Amino acid sequence: MDFKAIQLLILDVDGVLTDGRIVTTVDGESEKVFYVQDGLAIKRWQAAGRAVALLTGRNSTAVAYRAAELGIDHVRQGVKDKIGVYQNWLSELGVSDKQVAYMGDDWPDLEVMQQVGLPIAVANAVPAVKRAAEYITRRQGGSGAVAETIEVLLQKQTQ
C-alpha cells in the first residue's frame, strides 16, 4: 500500500462524510450532518496540492452546499455506476489507479475500491467493504474518519 502516491481522494458521502443516517424532510429533501474536523482536513489536503472528489448514489442539496463550502470541484451525485464516473475522473484529472484512494462504507463502493491503489473502509463499514480495504479507520463515518485518513496520508507523504 502506497500512501505516498495518492493524489486524489474520492469520498463516498453517506456513511463516510456522514454517519449514514438519512433525515428526510417533508419536501423530500435530505438533511445531513457533517463533521467539522473532516472539513478542515479536506482544506489541508487541498492546500497540499491534492484533489478531493465526492461520489454518491443519492442526491441532496445539502451535499452540493457542503461541497461548495469546501471548494470541492469534483462532485457527482445520484450515481448508479460509480466505476464509470471513476474511470472518467482518471482521464479528466490525469491520474492512474495507483494515485487514487477511495473511502467507502457499503456495497456500492466495492467495485471502485477493488480498482484504486488505496481502498479505505470506515470503522463501521459492512464486512465486505472492510475485507476489500487496505486501511480501516479507527473513527466511524461522520465522526472524523475522513480527517483521520487525511492525517495519515499527509503524515506519510511528508516523511
The least distance separating Mg ion from the CB of residue 54, rounded to whole angstroms, comes to 11
The least distance separating Mg ion from the CB of residue 15, rounded to whole angstroms, comes to 4
The least distance separating Mg ion from the CB of residue 96, rounded to whole angstroms, comes to 25
List beta partners, residue 116: none
Note the residue count of the chain. Answer: 159
Cβ-count burial 94-129 (b if 16+ within 10 Å, e if not): ebeeebbbbbbbbebbbebbeebbbbbbbebbeeeb
Residues in contact with 113: Cβ distance below 8 Å, sequence separation at least 6, in sequence order = 102, 104, 119, 121, 129, 132, 133
The least distance separating Mg ion from the CB of residue 146, rounded to whole angstroms, comes to 12
CB closer to Mg ion, 129 vs 154: 129
CB closer to Mg ion, 24 vs 96: 24
Whose grid coordinates read 496520508?
153
Whose grid coordinates read 477511495?
102
CB closer to Mg ion, 60 vs 154: 60
Indicate the residue whose CB is closest to Mg ion: 15
Where along the sequence are the contacts to Mg ion (CB under 5 A)?
Answer: 12, 14-15, 105-106
CB closer to Mg ion, 105 vs 148: 105
SS3 label, residue 30: strand
